[in-house]
Amino acid sequence: MGSIKQIYNTYSTKQLDIIDLKKVPKHVAIIMDGNRRWAKKHCLPSIVGHTKGAEALTNLVKASLQLGIKTLTVFAFSTENWQRSESEIKNLMNLFDLYLKKQKDFMMEHKVKLDFIGDLSKCPKKTIESFHNVKKLTSKNEKLDLVIAINYGARDEMKRAMIKLIKDYDEKKINLENINEETIRNYLDTSKYKDPDLLIRTSDEKRISNFLLWQMSYTEIYITDTLWPDFNEKQFLNAIYDFQKRKRRHGGT
């Protein structure tokens, strides 16, 4: 692991001593909650909170690279978020576009592959193009998969999966007898990824908010009262440490 410590220097050797680098979760999912509350707390416009939240994400991508995490899935914009004001939605979409343009060189340098889940077709054309362009650019990177959930809702994901499955059944591409959990999994947005080992939710909300409902059947959940823009690398390491103290049973005794 020495080479990792040399290339990525988010953590010192002393900081890393609290965890077992051989037992780091391979897939971490994050509900990045609290941007607007952070902005309100500091008497700032909501977009400032979202911008600070984007900076926090960049820092955690760097931390994930050093820790050896393979997949980082983050909830950026839900199907319910369309209920927000038109100006806030416009600002968020512009922020997505700006974030991708600013980070694409970093992703290439550090071998981060961008992917997205959700129904991107409902987003503005500029946002769609930005996601597809950076996804194509980084498609051969292999250090870390950064999966951004945008216009994502787990119930909507399941609905879309069932529509595709029924269509394939009608076209006789699959048989009724062959439909099992693995079949359904293959129709989900996350079909290419293993289920999350750990979910982190910030801002002390104790719910999963329609995020990866199928995939998180046996995921360990870590909740912190820290608002997302204030969630830093040290707190991320503490979440990993807490995860490693647990005994995962996957429904067993």
As a whole number of angstroms, the distance between CA 253 and CA 67 comes to: 30
Residue 225 corresponds to which amino acid?
Answer: D
- Domain boundaries, position 173: 22-243
- pLDDT value of residue 5: 43
Encode pLDDT of 55-112 as tens digits. 999 999 999 999 999 999 999 999 999 999 999 999 999 999 999 999 999 999 999 9
Q: Say if 7 falls within a structural domain.
A: no
Is residue 118 assigned to a domain?
A: yes
Confidence band (pLDDT; 50, 70, 90) for 1? very low
pLDDT exceeds cutoff 50 at 122 = yes
Taking CA 36 as the corner, what is the angle to CA 224 and CA 144, rounded to the nearest 5 degrees? 60
Closest of 49, 65, 42, 6 to residue 236, by C-alpha: 65
Q: Note whether residue 253 is domain-resident.
A: no
In a domain, 14, yes or no: no
Of the candidates 59, 81, 210, 238, the residue annotated as catalytic is 81
Tokens of 57: 């994400």
In a domain, 8, yes or no: no
pLDDT tens column, 10-57: 999 999 999 999 999 999 999 999 999 999 999 999 999 999 999 999
Q: Are 96 and 133 in contact (CB under 8 A)?
A: no
Catalytic status, residue 145 = no
Among candidate residues 147, 67, 137, 75, the one with its CA nearest the CA of residue 106: 137
Domain count, the chain: 1
Q: What pLDDT was estimated at residue 7?
A: 56
Q: What is the pTM of this model?
A: 0.94
CA distance 231 to 225: 9
Among candidate residues 33, 145, 189, 197, the one labeled active-site is 33
- The answer to whether 221 and 201 are in contact (CB under 8 A) is yes
CA distance 11 to 247: 26
**Quick one: DSSP state of residue 147?**
E
pLDDT-derived band of residue 247, with 50, 70 and 90 as boundaries? confident
> Alpha-carbon Rg of the chain, whole angstroms?
19
Q: What is the bridge-based pairing of β-strands 198-201 and 27-31? A: parallel
DSSP string, 160-189: HHHHHHHHHHHTTSS-GGG--HHHHHTTST
Buried b (16+ CB within 10 A) or exposed e, 184-200: eeebbbbeebebbbbbb
CATH of the domain at 39: 3.40.1180.10
CB 74 within 8 A of CB 30: yes
Q: How many CA atoms lie within 13 A of 106 on its CB side?
A: 15
In the chain, the N- to C-terminal Cα span, in Å, equals 33
Evaluate whether residue 232 is within a structural domain: yes
Does residue 252 fall inside a structural domain?
A: no
Report the pLDDT value the prediction gives residue 12, as an integer from 0 to 100. Answer: 93
The answer to whether residue 9 is domain-embedded is no
The yes-or-no answer on residue 94 being catalytic is no
Over the stretch 182-199, which tens digit does the pLDDT of each residue have?
Answer: 999 999 999 999 999 999
